[in-house]
Amino acid sequence: MKKFNDLIMKIVIIALAIITLFPFVYMLLSSLMSYQEVNSIPPTLIPSKPLFHNYVEAFQKAPFARYFFNTVFTATATTIMTLITTVLAAFAFVKLQFKGKNVVSLIFAALLMVPYEITVFTNYQTILKWGFVDTYLALILPHCASIFYIFYLRGYLQSIPMSYYNAAKVDGASDLEFIWKILVPISKPALFTMGILSFISGWNSFLWPILVTNEKNMRLISNGLAAFTSEAGSQTQLQMAASAIAIVPILILYFVFRSQIMRGVSRSGLKG
């Protein structure tokens, strides 16, 4: 009976894997097809002759190099700022004692329940009044802190004995020295996970860049891809090539660092 159950589970897992991976695999295959193949009925699954020039043509029809630069720059900047603010805030919640600490914690917890869509238009009005529309500041500033990551790191740091902090203070270390020399090295798995997930979130950002950017050269990759879908018209093979251009780099990033991500998530889950 146990072997039968294991067999059923394996079949279900394989079926789910196929359902999940098929759209991505088909996107890659169709990006190498001709116009006739990608629009044929019944659908063609494998191109008769891979047409890699579809990628070259997609780059020629839209400034994807500029989109990539904008996306990498803003995602990197927001990731660095998020890590800095998260470390400082989580340290304050875990190691410092100050008046109103519990109240601030409750406010932060309440803010976690506020949908992003409710605050996005308020942020837009602020950016508009400051004159930051169509600038990198508009893309970066609203994402320089994350309450979710603060609570995530807070749970991780609670496993670090308070004696470490007390010993550092006895040795004359400042709070910033304790954070840089002790807290950050100990928290590397969690920080690495946060960094990767924050970068992926910045890479996939769609709604906010649409609101605060009007010029074509300020588009991020997701917005540029959406615009290219309409600009390319019925050339589905070019749309698929552009989609692959946008997705493949972030997948490579995930597969390269997947072990570090899983290690950070599992350790945080066990100690939280």
Q: 220 with 205: CB under 8 angstroms?
A: yes
pLDDT band with cut points at 50, 70 and 90 for residue 69: very high
- The residue to which tokens 């803010």 are assigned: 111
Residue 120 falls within a domain, yes or no? Answer: yes
- Compute the distance between CA of residue 222 and CA of residue 204 in angstroms, rounded to an integer: 6
pLDDT exceeds 70 at position 141:
yes
Residue 9 falls within a domain, yes or no? Answer: no
Residue 46 falls within a domain, yes or no? Answer: no
| Tokens matching residue 116 | 């992003």
Task: Give the pLDDT confidence of 201-258 residue by residue, as tens digits.
Answer: 999 888 899 999 988 889 998 888 888 877 766 788 888 888 888 887 778 877 887 7
For the residues 42-63, what does the mean pLDDT come to?
A: 86
Residue 27 falls within a domain, yes or no? Answer: no
Residue 245 falls within a domain, yes or no? Answer: yes
- Compute the distance between CA of residue 68 and CA of residue 224 in angstroms, rounded to an integer: 9
Q: Domain containing 111 — which CATH number? A: 1.10.3720.10
Structural domain count, the chain: 1
Residue 168 falls within a domain, yes or no? Answer: yes
Residue 73 falls within a domain, yes or no? Answer: yes
Q: 35 with 17: CB under 8 angstroms?
A: no
How many other CB atoms are there within 10 angstroms of residue 64's CB atom? 20
Range of the domain at 262: 59-271
Residue 215 falls within a domain, yes or no? Answer: yes
Nearest to residue 198, comparing CAs of 94, 15, 76?
Answer: 76
For the residues 31-59, what does the mean pLDDT come to?
A: 86
